[in-house]
Amino acid sequence: MPTLERLCEELSPDRIQSDFRLWLTSEPSKHFPAYILQNGVKMTMEPPKGMRANLIGSYTSMIDTAFLEGSTRPREFRKLLFGLCFFHALVRERRKFGPLGWNIKYVFSGSDLRISMDQLRIFCADLDDEDIPYAALRYLTGECNYGGRVTDDKDRRCLANMLTDFYSEVIQNEDYRFSPSGVYYAPRDGSLESYMDYIQTLPYTEGPELFGLHDNANISCALDETNLLLSTVLSLQPRSTGGAGASWDETLAEVSGDIESRLPPQFDLERAIIDFPVRYEESMNTVLTQELLRFNKLTSLIKRRLKEVQRAIKGIVVMSGDLEAMGNSMVQGQVPTIWSKAAYPSRKPLGSWVADLLQRLDFLRSWNDAKAAPAVFWISGFYFTQAFITGTLQNFARKYQIPIDTVAFDYAILTPGQEKAAYAHKPQDGSICRGLFLEGARWNIEDHVLTESRPRELHTTVPLFHLLPKSKPDIEPVIGRPELYTGEIAGTAHVYMCPVYKESTRQGTLSTTGHSTNFVMFIRMPMAKHHDQKHWIKRGVAMLTQLDV
């Protein structure tokens, strides 16, 4: 980039031909020279918005009459081609729903559609009486072309299930519809103009039902846009205030003093190691002492930084850039970056974040003071949740003298009656947990199954659940595992494999321990007989250990 900037600076009018123009194409980059941006004409290429606009773009720029008629099975080919273009528009537009749509906002491009179209034409070109190889088409398109961009395995699962709505035999039926509304479908076999005429009749905007999402997804989408707008406005607030309002320094001093006064003393690690020694048969002792150590480091950092910023306000030390950034965040009600980097994932504002931190410290303190593990664990209160999960597996494996890699979790959502008994008696094996929230669906207490959310109800509390370790052969396999593109039946358990995340963005990276910084585990959720995994996967249903408020 420095070389490019130097070359552009040398392009003076007296040294170049009058008709010379330099065209540069680039993806968004923070390293792109500012000099070139400031002195050049900038143009951006954005994909069209809306299903209708996406379909018009695909049929006008990539499909002509020769391509549409180049198959020995024209009717089936054209149906599948329309389904592919519809799928391409669907995966693009699903991004607007945030984490309910995709965990990561992928940029699916026209090249993904082009290579998939060419493969579809090749597969359909020489078919006579043979069956169309739907499984091969689904694999190439879902795993290679579009799936090659998808780095999250839960997103890959969703992509594969969405594709089965279009690359399957049912799309050839004239009464097949892409959504419950019946507005969207593959038109009857016809010319290119007939397809364009149908696309022109489609609505300019589409609802969540087209994507398999609940109507509440519109609320989540609107809330995200509102929060982005408000955070942008808040970042433009001046440090100085007029009238009787408190100054920046006064507000910061008040906030920092309040937080410092609420933080409890650090845990006595030496005492904890004596009360909870390392024992072969009780891994939770190690889990607790490691948690106490992590929270001691976090609270020590917070207290030290609060003292530094208070001294800077008084003029005792220089207000460095880090301290000023920390102060700006606190005044705006945001968690300082230097704190969040040292802490667990969270999207809470500062006030809620501090309250949540104090609750976590109280949970560990009560465990430490009782000198015994609680009957019910607050799974959301752990700094490193995977350590607790592994500890539960280790206790079971060591108790029954079996290898830990042959052990996995089965799950049971408790009834109201079982919840009362859970607080009084510890389970023989495994752990009883609380603290999860369900997004995209709710738990039906009466029928004991996953069911649809109520209107305007974005999150619901999950009842107590039992993490029950079992030997892997003793766990009933799940019906129709979604990663199988052939749709083969793999088991008899009619459950939804519900992912659990630490916070609502659902996006994480692999840490040095090999664990995701956000994803925790899958929990098996029983479903009603008329539902299947595809329904809830397209709904974007997941559990969260904490909310954003």
Tell me the one-letter amino acid at 498.
Answer: C
b/e per residue, 274-312, with b = 16+ CB within 10 A? ebbeeeeebbbbbbbbbbbebbbebbeebeebbebbbeb
Beta strands at 495-501 and 407-413: parallel, antiparallel or unpaired: unpaired
Q: Look up residue 160 and give its two tokens.
A: 């594969």
Which residues fall within 8 angstroms of residue 486, CB to CB, at 6 or more apart?
Answer: 135
d(C-alpha 190, C-alpha 195), whole Å: 7
Cβ atoms within 10 Å, residue 185: 19
What per-residue confidence (pLDDT) applies to 31? 83
DSSP one-letter code for 282: B
Q: Which residues contact 397 (CB under 8 A, 6 or more apart)?
A: 403, 404, 406, 407, 469
Which burial class, exposed, middle or buried, applies to 92 when counting CB atoms under 10 A from its CB (0-12, 13-18, 19+)?
buried
Tell me, what's the pLDDT at 87?
A: 98
Nearest to 465 by CA among 437, 484, 440, 487: 437
Task: Round to whole Å and give the CA distance between 119 and 20.
Answer: 41
Residue 171 burial (C-beta neighbours within 10 Å; 0-12, 13-18, 19+): buried
Per-residue pLDDT of 97-143, as tens digits, reads 999 999 999 999 999 999 999 999 998 887 777 788 999 999 999 99
pLDDT at position 233 is: 85
Which pLDDT value is given to residue 239?
Answer: 61
Q: Distance (Å, rounded) from C-alpha 268 to C-alpha 291?
A: 12
**What count of other Cβ atoms lies within 10 Å of the Cβ of residue 240?**
8
Nearest to 410 by CA among 462, 498, 450, 470: 470
Domains of the chain in sequence order: 2-39 (no CATH), 51-204 (1.10.8.720), 217-235+245-373 (1.20.1270), 376-549 (3.10.490.20)
Below-50 pLDDT ranges, the chain = 484-488
pLDDT score for 360: 98
